[in-house]
Amino acid sequence: EVQLQESGPGLVKPSQSLSLTCSVTGYSITSNYWGWIRKFPGNKMEWMGYISYSGSTSYNPSLKSRISITRDTSKNQFFLQLNSVTTEDTATYYCARGDLAYWGQGTLVTVSS
């Protein structure tokens, strides 16, 4: 069974970096695409970006140069880094397989001083 699990700090200070890990079991991240999606307070969902089976990446231009998605294939994990966060980055962050068939449980990240 494919399972994804996000982990990382639940509280980040403004101007600092947000770093999350997605651990995948039951499926190799060297196959398919793997992405990060966030849900803001309310219902708005935003696709942030993905990393492909080959390691190439694609990001939402709205995040400009603040975002980086990397991976560690030996641990079957991929990572999100979002720099220079503001309170507007407060959201529940999900990792998901690129076809959206599998999602992590989500992790709430609050940006606050």
Partner 1 sequence: DVVLTQTPPTLSATIGQSVSISCRSSQSLLHSNGNTYLHWLLQRPGQSPQLLIYLVSRLESGVPNRFSGSGSGTDFTLKISGVEAEDLGVYYCVQGTHAPYTFGAGTKLELK
Phi then psi for residue 87, to 5 deg, are -60, -25
Nearer to partner 1 (CB atom), residue 16 or residue 47: 47
Q: Is 18 or 104 the residue whose CB approaches partner 1 more closely?
A: 104
Question: Under rule CB under 8 A, which residues in 1-30 are in contact with partner 1?
Answer: none
DSSP 16-60: S-EEEEEEEESS-TTSS-EEEEEE-SSS-EEEEEEE-TTS-EEE-
87 binds partner 1 (CB under 8 A): no
How far is residue 84's CA from residue 67's CA, in Å, rounded to a whole number? 10
Report the amino acid identity of residue 1.
E
Return the residue of 21, 23, 60, 68 that touches partner 1, per CB under 8 A.
60
Smaller CB distance to partner 1: residue 73 or 105?
105
Residues that bind partner 1 (CB under 8 A): 43-47, 58-62, 94, 96, 99-101, 103-106
